[in-house]
Amino acid sequence: MLNKSDKVYIAGHRGMVGSAILRKLQKEGFENFVFRTSAELDLRNQQEVETFFQNEKPDVVVLAAAKVGGIHANNTFRAEFLYDNLMIESNVIHQSYVQGVKKLLFLGSSCIYPKLAQQPLKEEYLLTGLLEPTNEPYAIAKIAGIKLCEAYRSQYGCNFISAMPTNLYGPNDNYDLNNSHVLPALIRKFHTAKIEGKPFVEIWGTGSPKREFLHADDLADACYFLLQNYNESELVNIGCGEDISIKELAMLVKDVIGYEGDLKFDTSKPDGTPRKLMNVDKLNALGWHYSISLKDGIEKVYKELKWEEILA
């Protein structure tokens, strides 16, 4: 188990995932943190990362930093999504080994699984089929991170673990319509349509794909649970084990925001993977279950948003 005195480095501490994990650790009594913003430390730069780890020597590392985005961003910036993520994880994981980090948690994504894998997605389905083409570069980078953790554990005995979260939402999410994920994009679209009195909201695709959503605070709770209780090489899925169609999600967001117009689906836009539901039997068997319902989570997120900053 972790000690409250351990020095913890959260890579990506200002993002949605990293900030949620930081809040959870602070709530549990951890105080010894080391932080660097992306402006202060370029995790793609091998020398910078080496110098940082030599100087700070963290005991625990949570690798939540990544180049992320939705379908449009993934498909448009394919080289950056592959290169940047490969460099980030390679540098951080290697230096964690070199400096003797006690425990590392690597966070991936549900997009690592094959596009047409049987649902719900079990951990053992990894590398059993072709990936979804629109986010293949990101998925390949994350798969490489999982395998790096496995390799350093196998060769050097490092306690490096990997967890694959489902689709997330929560504080510090990205609401830029050009590269955000589906839920924050819907929240922004419906809020804007309500404020501007628009007669309809346009939604990409057919609305038929099904997705699973987990609040970032639940994810942080699961990550803390794994840091305290899990020490195996196999990756672990993190999710709620329930999914919803994009159309149903849009109706839920519409209801929460109080928008009274219509929905229009742009079927010329890609749907992405038909379904992405995580099998969370492994995590549940270990003793962890989610607690924040989707409606309650969306209501909480929407209530706390600072629209003057988002729309600036």
Distance, in Å, from the CA atom of 48 to the CA atom of 311, rounded to the nearest integer, reads 34
Q: Looking at this protein, which amino acid is placed at residue 29?
A: G
Residue 271 tokens, joined: 């749907």
Instruction: Give the 3-state secondary structure of residue 225.
Output: helix
Phi, psi values for residue 84, rounded to 5°: -60, -45
Which candidate in 9, 138, 230, 290 is catalytic?
A: 138
Task: Tell whether 15 is in a known binding site.
Answer: yes
Task: Tell whether 191 is in a known binding site.
Answer: no
Task: Tell whether 142 is in a known binding site.
Answer: yes
* 270 in Cβ contact with 71 (< 8 Å): yes
The CA dihedral of 17, 21, 26, 31, to the nearest 10 degrees, is -100
Task: Tell whether 110 is in a known binding site.
Answer: yes
The CA dihedral of 85, 214, 296, 119, to the nearest 10 degrees, is 140
Task: Tell whether 44 is in a known binding site.
Answer: no
Task: Tell whether 173 is in a known binding site.
Answer: no
Q: How many CB atoms lie within 10 A of CB 88?
A: 24
Task: Tell whether 109 is in a known binding site.
Answer: yes
Task: Tell whether 84 is in a known binding site.
Answer: no
**Residue position matching structure tokens 């349509």:** 193
Task: Tell whether 209 is in a known binding site.
Answer: no
Residue 273 tokens, joined: 């993977």
Task: Tell whether 166 is in a known binding site.
Answer: yes
Which residues make beta-bridge pairs with 135? none
Kindly give, in sequence order, each residue whose CB lies less than 8 Å from that of residue 184, ignoring residues fewer than 6 positions away.
169, 173, 174, 175
Task: Tell whether 17 is in a known binding site.
Answer: yes
Distance, in Å, from the CA atom of 162 to the CA atom of 233, rounded to the nearest integer, reads 8
Task: Tell whether 184 is in a known binding site.
Answer: no
Task: Tell whether 122 is in a known binding site.
Answer: no
138 is catalytic: yes
Q: Active-site positions?
A: 138
Q: Indicate the annotated binding residues.
A: 12-18, 107-110, 142, 165-168, 181, 189, 204, 211, 271
Binding residues for NADP(+): 12-18, 107-110, 142, 165-168, 181
Query: Residues at the annotated binding site for substrate?
Result: 189, 204, 211, 271
